[in-house]
Chains A and B, each alone.
Chain A
Amino acid sequence: MGTNDQKRSLPHGLRLVALAGAATLTLTAGLATPLDPAPQQARAADDGKKVLTVAVAQSVDSLSPFLAVRLLSTSIHRLMYEYLTNYDPKDNHAIAGLATKWEPSPDKLTWTYTIRSNSTWSDGEQATAEDAAWTFNKMMTDPGAATANGSYVGNFRKVTAPSPTKLVIELKKPQATMAALDVPIVPKHVWEKVSDFSEFNNDKSFPVVGNGPFVLSGYKADSYVRLKANKSFWRGAPKFDELVFRYYKDQDAAVSALRKGEVSFVAGSPSLTPAQAESLKGADDIQVNDAPGRRFYALATNPGAKAKNGEKFGDGHPSLLDQRVRNALFRAVDREAIIDKVFRGHAVEGEGYIPPRFQDYFWKPSASQKLAYDPAEAARLLDQAGYKKNGDGKRVGKDGKPITYRVLCHATDPNDKAVGKYLQEWWGELGIGVQLNCLDNVTDPWLAGKYDLAFDGWSVNPDPDFVLSIHTCGALPATPKDTGATDNFICDKKYDELYARQLTEYDPAKRADIVKQMESRLYDLGYMNVMAYPNAVEAFRTDQIKSITTMPAKAGNIYGQDGYWSWWSAVPADSGGSSDNASSTGVVVGIVAGVVILGGLGAFAAMRRRATAEERE
């Protein structure tokens, strides 16, 4: 693997493409550098280590499992620490993790977990029930440690470890998620030295002690995350020796790196663009995996941000407090066009809150409930709500001013901008202005409630508890200054009642039924309008990765799974095939563009020469 010639033969074409791309923008010469491959040790180091390199773009928010919520960070925690239970890669049902067995008492209020005795921390110590008990107790007693996963332990009365292999959790009320506690169990002997859990990011001393399939061995913010295989992992050592998440903030650069073999896998952020997928499909030794995603892509409206203490803050448009207005806005969104034009078929039209991939919980509105695309009906709803058009054809708010909504969009997500352009025209027809605020950092205005609408999306777990919990009143921040677990400040009594009921329902079918009612409620409220379920479009090199587990096994994704299956199961290919003509089209394009530009320069030079002919001696 990793012969040098393939590295050397391709950059040239790339540089030309970059030239054509930046198209002689002399000022932006510096921009070509991200496309310019830095000489790096790629996947095969000299000592024959097998390295799996994954191109990522999302920054790590924290490497502390008590703080991290982003997809990349939580995926890394899956690799570093064992959870009590895991999900089966084939069909998502709960299977053994650190716990081998779990059973409730007859009253369903006491759960006893049997902890396996063959899992050791990477510093040699045995992983025991005591570690798990300490982790949960810490989250229950220290608010700083409950930041990320507090919703799991809110209902715990007491957690004890009577013996090293026995963990007992006592509950206040029955809780349905007891076999799906997505909480990384950390080693007590390491973590009890931490003083402030809300500050500690777990990124100072390496390797970080863990018991998952990989051990975190290095991290540099926005540069790389390096993990070494844990050879003594109880389920079996991973086949690759090292796993590196390398940062490519530019997706085109990541795709180029994949073409050259510098990285083995690209997930894209959040996925490859249709054009990229299309072009990679034809490339040698590259396989494109286009799987139904576990994400939803929604348009969230600001319901008037408020804190748990009742204090209101932010400056969401008052008209959005009217459900008719919210529904009207969504009725003017042509979801089919979004699927067809923006995602170009790499997505499924949005219905309920939970993607169809999770069949048990998937809900879709009936024909009469559905807020189908109907601009005429939308206009009627707005008229009915009292937002009539003025002489200029603009709808005016109660304050007499024309309505213009500020739509918060992620500057890093091209889909946001593209859909934003459509919204501008669809809602423009309705007489409503749209101001697209595309920011690199949407968190600040978001948490401050300073937006009207926002593009939103979450990855959904096999157990939907978490994504449901972020819309409850309990998730609101304590005061306007705090940060809550809430997604966009939704607080609805009826929804909360249903949420509490589903959490205590042990019968899967009945629970699923309640979850569907919640989705229905959320749909009607119109605070969370799901436009699409984007596919996970990712690509990997078949000459570096021989096989890799998708989840679910049939038509599943690879990056960001619920579990460590993909990276743990990845089998290295024996030898690196060459990929000489991988970007031949790029080279051709580059050459054509180069010739055009050189021709232009030549003509110019000739012209200059003629112009000064008289003056030359």
Chain B
Amino acid sequence: MRIFDPHIHMTSRTTDDYQRMYAAGVRAITEPAFWLGQPRTNVGSFVDYFDGLLGWERFRAAQFGIRHHCTIALNPKEANDPRCHGVLEVLPRYLAKDGVVAVGEVGFDSMTDDEEKVFLRQLELAGEHDLPVLVHTPHRDKAAGTRRTLELVAASGLPPERVLVDHLNETTVGMVADSGCWMGFSIYPDTKMDEHRMVRILADRGLERMIVNSAADWGHSDPLKTVKTGRAMLAEGFSADDVDTVLWQNPVEFYGQSGRLLLDEVDLAGTGGRAATFEGNSILRGQRPDPAEA
């Protein structure tokens, strides 16, 4: 099983997770920029975070044989803090970079006017930078938030096939299917959506435009939920090709619209290997290769 996890927040995870993910077949991921739990209070905090997604985290993932991409945006929750609105000014510099495969996560949290204004501006930026969009749907009042999301996407003029609407469930999947947008499902332990419900949705609706992710972050979550969904699909009679469609080909097709995926094999023996250093820092603490003896 080869897996592309299209939504996972690796800055919140450990190297043990990277090892387990690689062992289970994860070879590529996309890490959306999002809320860090602790609210940020100035633009500089975002800039350093974006630099980390593009720099250190990509390097760290490569140490474990996993290709790391990211999406960049001002997330819905922090769109409500005027101290963070300056992030919109710096986004164009980041949206031009290699490895940035979409604008995201954008969308609604509490359906405020500020959220809508920031969402609309970022839909425009996606058009200007020829990037797909990853849209977060709210955890509260999800159906209304998803409906409003689809109205704004339709009004933006962006082609629906360049928009992935995430965190769906049985009550919201239908309207997104009808819109022509991609349908994303975050599979969590205990809450929201699990792998068995996911398999039923796939059995009912087919595999086209279907995306499955772990959305693992700093909360109770599981970076192997993609793998577990693949196993649940096999147990219910889906073929290995079907699993590959959902867990690899679909996310590659969606993010591939950016033209910026980095999917060449990670070279563990070469310069991207375990002995490499990032800006002088290596994850092999205390075992840094000695340049004088190299």
Tell me if chain B binds chain A.
Answer: no
